[in-house]
Amino acid sequence: MQHFASDNYAGICPEALQALLAANTGHAPAYGDDEWTRRVSDRLRELFATECDVYFVFNGTAANSLSLASLCQSYHSVICHELAHVATDECGGPEFFSNGSKLLPATGEGGKLTPEAVYEVITRRNDIHYPKPRVVTLTQATELGTLYQPPEIAAIADLARQHGLRVHMDGARFANAVAALGVAPADITWRAGVDVLCFGGTKMGLPVGEAVVFFDRRLSEDFAWRCKQAGQLASKMRFLSAPWLGVLEGEAWLNHARHANAMAQRLAGGLASIPAAQLLFPVEANGVFAILPTAVQDGLRARGWRFYTFIGAGGARFMCAWDTTPESVDALISDLRELTS
């Protein structure tokens, strides 16, 4: 049975698995000094059409925490959406690894920051007693399954730049965003003003790992030491990097993300036909949020379905993954229909 609790419930996609197995031949230099890591870093530079510094870490919490720490001094602050993963689901990691940089949450419809909300936080205080805003972090796709359009990113990044702030992007679902927007990866990152991207591999179909991509290469100074100290430097790095090669060498990463997005659309379509279910946010990537009566939630769980209700603004969250089948979506809809009729 497939589940909709999270896209990280899915296994490893075939392209990543094949690349992982192919890397398992003989001996290779450790700690990233291997040909797979070199090749995938070059491939990422090609994909983003710019020179950038690339690092691989085990998970998104580390990618976000360590990259934010590299942008901040301990007396700085990071403006984020109040529902941002960095604020709600990283156990204080960004604050810990930055030695105390404070997260300053702001509100915004659909999980998205606006220039107005960011401006309010930047200009709220400028005295010595308040942590100095240094970074704006955007999540793309957002925690609520919505997307920032390229001009929305550019507007926030322009404002940030005018006030001397850096722009960080949590791209745990960056692939879903690129696939849905149909843009070049550069158009929603460095060309729009993003300085550093945490490009999610895990939810995209890799066994493990995220890539931290520094578009402003000055910001990555000593980042390798930061990773090592945090226990995020893989000694057999090739097994973290090779799966990326498998999905990035062709279009597999985009095809899988497109599929996951399409399954979310299918699910949203089904939900729209069920009067007792109420969609909460526009379905723009691979996540669907809906308000369901408690009895229906219990009924779904009793039938074995797993989904989260503690994320975002409440409601039941259903995530689609690279391997979610139309049959699974239809089976979920069919159970929902029975439980609500």
The distance from CA 122 to its chain's CA centroid, rounded to whole angstroms, is 24
Considering only 37, 41, 59, 137, the residue that binds ligand PLP (CB under 6 A) is 59
61 counts as binding ligand PLP under rule CB under 6 A? yes
CB of 314 to ligand PLP, least distance (A): 17
Q: Closest Cα to residue 270, out of 292, 254, 245?
A: 292
Collapse the DSSP code of 305 into the 3-class scheme (helix H, G, I; strand E, B; otherwise coil) and give the result: coil
Q: Could you give the CA distance from residue 48 to residue 194 in angstroms, rounded to a whole number?
A: 12
Beta bridge partners of 78: 103, 135
The pair of structure tokens assigned to 300 is 């779904």
x/- map, 191-230, ligand PLP, by CB under 6 A: -----------xx---------------------------
- Residue 289 CB, nearest distance to ligand PLP (Å)? 13
- Give, as ranges, the residues between 116 and 155 that touch ligand PLP (CB under 6 A): 139, 143
Nearer to ligand PLP, 211 or 274 (CB): 211
- The helix/strand/coil state of 82 is coil
In the complex, minimum distance from the CB of residue 148 to ligand PLP, in angstroms, rounded to a whole number:
13
> Is 34 one of the binding residues for ligand PLP (CB under 6 A)?
no
For residue 171, the minimal CB distance to ligand PLP (Å) is 8
Q: Which is nearer to ligand PLP, 29 or 92 (CB)?
A: 92
Residue 296 in tokens: 């229906």
Residue 172 touching ligand PLP (CB under 6 A): yes
**Which position's Cβ is nearest ligand PLP?**
60
Query: Rounded to an integer, what distance in angstroms lies between the CA atom of residue 95 and that of residue 101?
Result: 5
CB 210, min distance to ligand PLP, A: 7
**Chain centroid offset of residue 336 CA:** 28
Find the shortest distance in angstroms from Cβ 198 to ligand PLP.
7
What is the identity of the amino acid at 336? L
Q: How many residues bind ligand PLP (CB under 6 A)?
A: 10
Please give the residues from 62 up to 101 whose contact with ligand PLP meets the rule CB under 6 A. 85
284 is a contact residue toward ligand PLP (CB under 6 A): no
DSSP 312: T
Shortest Cβ distance from residue 162 to ligand PLP (Å)? 27
Report the largest interatomic distance among the alpha carbons of the chain, rounded to a whole angstrom.
61
**Preceding peptide of 141 cis, ω within 30°:** yes
For 43-90, list the strands marked E by DSSP: 53-57, 76-81
Q: Which stretch binds ligand PLP (CB under 6 A): 27-35, 57-65, 233-241, 267-275?
A: 57-65
Q: How far is the CB of 337 from ligand PLP (least distance, A)?
A: 29
Residue 170, interface with ligand PLP (CB under 6 A)? yes
- Whichever of 76 and 203 has its CB closer to ligand PLP, that residue is 203
Closest CA to 88 of 100, 105, 74: 105
80 sits in which H/E element: strand 76-81
Contacts of 296 (CB under 8 A, 6+ apart): 276, 277, 336, 339, 340
Residues that bind ligand PLP (CB under 6 A): 59-61, 85, 139, 143, 170, 172, 202-203
